Amino acid sequence: MRGRAIPLTWLLPLALLALPGVSVAQEEPEIVGTMSGLLDDQAHEWFILSQGADSNATYTDAGDRIVIDLVGFSDPDHWRVRDSLSLSITLIEGEVAAFDVLHPIGGTAKPPVFTSDNADLLLVIDSFDVEGNKAHVSGRLEGSLAMQRSLEEAATLEEGVLISVEFDAEASRIEY
């Protein structure tokens, strides 16, 4: 099922990671999931981490609407924005209604980035099972990410990259 991308919703989680002075708990990071597959015909693996109360795999449940956010990092020992992969998925009544994908290629979440805006992507959720305040989510993402060179320019497939990634993670529930 193709979902409509929601522009710029990916910016907040990654922007928070880039803020100087944001401290991370001293506990050792735990790998709570992975995203692995091909990006631009090269094998990649991103680690989804949790450290104390801070997790990069979360979900919110608003009844018939569930939002799942997954952020994977290429190095499990460092939460660096560069070369990370971020998925934000909205389920309505159990079906994918919208999703955003972001792959920063610089040191921040600002362009240049590869994004789902104006892209040609298919996202499939294989499972989303809730037990207590945790949810197991798995699925796959396939297609082409678009390149966005600046905030003033729209993303375009002309310089896009192919992506074929499977993801599997344990997401923590966030309640407001």
- Residues 31-40 have pLDDT tens digits of 999 999 999 9
What's the rounded Cα separation, in Å, for the pair 14 and 4?
Answer: 21
Does 145 map to a domain?
yes
Give 43's pLDDT tier (boundaries 50, 70, 90). Answer: very high
What's the rounded Cα separation, in Å, for the pair 82 and 97?
Answer: 28
Name residue, tokens 């070369």: 83
* Environment class of 130 (CB within 10 Å of its CB; exposed 0-12, middle 13-18, buried 19+): middle
Does 105 map to a domain?
yes
Report whether pLDDT(48) > 80: yes
Report whether pLDDT(45) > 50: yes
Number of domains in the chain: 1
Cα–Cα distances in angstroms (integers) from residue 124 to residues 18, 86, 90, in the given order: 29, 15, 12
Q: 119 with 101: CB under 8 angstroms?
A: yes
Q: 109 with 10: CB under 8 angstroms?
A: yes
Does 139 map to a domain?
yes
Report whether pLDDT(5) > 70: no
Cα–Cα distances in angstroms (integers) from residue 19 to residues 14, 46, 70, 106, in the given order: 9, 21, 19, 15
Report whether pLDDT(21) > 70: no
Domain that holds residue 159: 31-173
Q: What pTM was computed for the model?
A: 0.83
What's the rounded Cα separation, in Å, for the pair 150 and 147?
Answer: 9
Does 6 map to a domain?
no
Question: Any residues with CB less than 8 A from the CB of 42 and at least 6 apart, and which?
Answer: none
What's the rounded Cα separation, in Å, for the pair 102 and 88?
Answer: 9
Does 9 map to a domain?
no
Does 67 map to a domain?
yes
Name residue, tokens 């919703």: 9
Give 12's pLDDT tier (boundaries 50, 70, 90). Answer: very low
Report whether pLDDT(11) > 70: no
In this prediction, residue 77 carries a pLDDT of 86
